[in-house]
Amino acid sequence: MNQVDHLRSWKDHLTSEPYRSYLYSYPHKTAYRTLETKLPLSELWSRELADTFFLYMHIPFCGARCGFCNLFTLPDKRADVHAEYVDALERQAAQWAPFIRSKPIARFAVGGGTPTLLVPEQLDRLFHIAQHVVGMDPSQASISVETSPETVTPDRLAILKNRQVDRVSMGIQSFVESEAEAIYRPQKPQEVETALKLLKQQQFPILNLDLIYGLPGQTLQSWMYSLDRALSYEPEEVFIYPLYTREHTIVKPEQIRQSGEDRRLELYKAARERLLERGYTQYSMRRFAKAEAGSDKTLLSYGCHDEGMIGLGCGARSYTNTVHYSSRYSVGRSATASIIADYVAQNDYSYADYGVVLSKDDQQRRFILKSLLHTEGLALDGYAERFTASALADYPELNQLLDTELAAIENGTLRLTSEGLMYSDAIGDWFISPEIRELMESCVVS
């Protein structure tokens, strides 16, 4: 096979299954394992190179489990359970504070689950922990909180406003009731509209709305209806996600296959065109935002490929330069409940015992992927400065992206083309190291 035929065959294979996998971080959480020895956090964080930190709190509770969800979350609305969990999170924060207060917090995010499922007093307490236990300064940190339509209430929004939240992100997925029902999401369109009106009244600097394409029964017309309803509220940011299903999600992959032709690429293209027409800038396959969107604060800097991520709460991941760690991972209800119970009962949070130790190859691949899968691209001199080597020499396979016009180099930066962005998930999956892939494929999720 000559070089031209080889490249054509490679590209055809890559683009034939654009949604084979996805990466929000690297290495993927399914590569995490029990570490050979417990690692003291005091040592891990004393060696961290990042100038600023990203603080994340995970609240693993939600009102109901959506059919596509494979996150670490548990349907549980009991206020006493939530209070015990926040107690544990505060204990953990107090134990970690001596290791992480040496550098400022540039970003603070609260996710889940649904953080706003907490009663107002507990929701407010999260910000107290971030500010007074960990040392986050709300005047210089970008603060983001996830919510859901049924938990958007005036008293909760007042707390977010008072705590200087810059970005509120709400998962809508669809404005069509039958599509929401198909993914086991107990959500009425009027409930969504009411929540959006309340959010707009508060005038948060950034309102982000999440939508999903490829839902069972969804058509191009119904997808564009949902997108247009979202855009009618003029959100500063929109994330569009392809529907992903796994064997351990409620909606199974075979149900999607049985629903007929996979139209996700078509729906993505239509949404991308509409968003660009409406003045949004594309920053990744999923993220579209208004160029002027942002906070009035003078924010500390934090790069998307930096480490220094502090994950508090059961299910949160933490990233140092050489080790990524978290609690155990599960999707099933009983296993998730058991992991949360162990976390709440725990007294010592001062070590990491579950995660992955990053080799030099892992660190380099992470840097490349975290840059390349965003429109800012991979600055080749930035890679050279960090790793004293050439990215294209270390990974000559990157030239395949260039030779197939999935990427281009301009002013020293390797960027995906618009076609390359469309196949971001497949490109991310292709660039996983053999060692990490083997760990992921051998992962058993309970």
CA-closest candidate to residue 311, choices 9, 35, 107, 68: 107
Computed over every residue of the chain, the mean pLDDT equals: 92
CA distance to 25, 61, 113, 131, 165, per residue, from 83 (Å) = 30, 12, 15, 19, 22
Query: How far is 302 from 277, CA to CA, in rounded Å?
Result: 30
The structure's pTM equals 0.94
Average the pLDDT over 278-284 and give the result: 97
Note the pLDDT of residue 308. 92
User: Residue 342 CB: number of other CB atoms within 10 A?
Assistant: 12
Cis before 315 (ω within 30): no
Q: Which helix (H) or strand (E) holds 313?
A: none
CA-closest candidate to residue 66, choices 152, 151, 196, 173: 173
Do residues 301 and 43 touch, judged by C-beta distance below 8 A? no
Burial class (CB in 10 A: 0-12, 13-18, 19+), 28: buried
Between 333-345 and 79-100, two packed helices, what is the crossing angle to 10 degrees? 60
| CA quadruple 301, 305, 307, 308: dihedral sign | positive
pLDDT band, very low/low/confident/very high, at 15 (cuts 50, 70, 90): very high
In tens, the pLDDT along 344-379 reads: 999 999 999 999 999 999 999 999 999 999 999 999
Q: Which helix (H) or strand (E) holds 129?
A: none
In tens, the pLDDT along 220-254 reads: 999 999 999 999 999 999 999 999 866 555 455 55
| CA quadruple 346, 349, 353, 357: dihedral sign | positive
